[in-house]
Amino acid sequence: MAKKTISPGQQRVRDSFKIAVAFLGPLQGLVKRGYGELARRKKSLAAGLALGHTLQAAIKLRPQGPVVDPALVRLSDGSLPGIRMDRLIRHPDRFELVHDGFSDALFSADDRLILCAYQVEKGYAFVNERIWQRREGRVVVPIPEGFGQDGFHLYLLLSDRKELRYARSTYLGYSTV
């Protein structure tokens, strides 16, 4: 049986799929929780919905091949309203996000915040272990010793207290030392 030749367009699609899967791989736990509400509503898989969004919105074609634009990736999607952020501070051993929790008085004060620091090239991510609530006005994610010199893409996720409903994730930018 003769091998089929692959067109350049097919190769681009395959390459896009590979890099999208590789980008989302270390974040599968967050994606599963963050897309859970939408997946139940659409009777689909959370990972498939996140991958579909990444392929449609976050893949940029470059002459050297497709790349993922981290600012366009969503780790969660849902119906909860987000928060207004005041500032993001990088300390040597942690990231701290300060937000205006008081202006969100119409929303549940016990909504939970997750701050994710993702190092794409090395394939690892850190999230806050402590539960931070909307009313506290801040969220902190510690960076373990030895990782403080790395650059991180930062994402904020917001869920209700039962972690069933989520807000659309927010990309906070790339942080270096």
> Which tens digits make up the pLDDT trace of 145-156?
888 889 999 999
Task: Report pLDDT for 29.
Answer: 93
With beta carbons less than 8 A apart as the criterion, state whether 170 and 90 touch: no
Task: Tell me the per-residue pLDDT of 8-34, one tens digit each, with 9 for 90 and over.
Answer: 888 999 999 999 999 999 999 999 999
pLDDT tens digits, one per residue of 73-116 = 999 998 888 888 889 999 989 999 998 755 555 667 788 999 99
Domain 8-175 sits in CATH at 2.60.40.10
User: Residue 32 has what pLDDT?
Assistant: 95
Half-sphere exposure of 145 (CA within 13 A, CB side): 0
pLDDT of res. 134: 87
Q: Which residues pair with 20 in a beta bridge?
A: none
Strand pairing report for 85-91 and 138-142: unpaired
Among the listed residues 165, 156, 155, the one whose alpha carbon sits nearest the alpha carbon of residue 110? 165
Mean pLDDT score, 45-55: 95
Distance in angstroms (rounded) separating the CA atoms of residues 57 and 52 = 8
Determine the residue type at 146.
Answer: G
pLDDT of the residue at 1? 64
Instruction: Output the pTM of the full model.
Output: 0.90
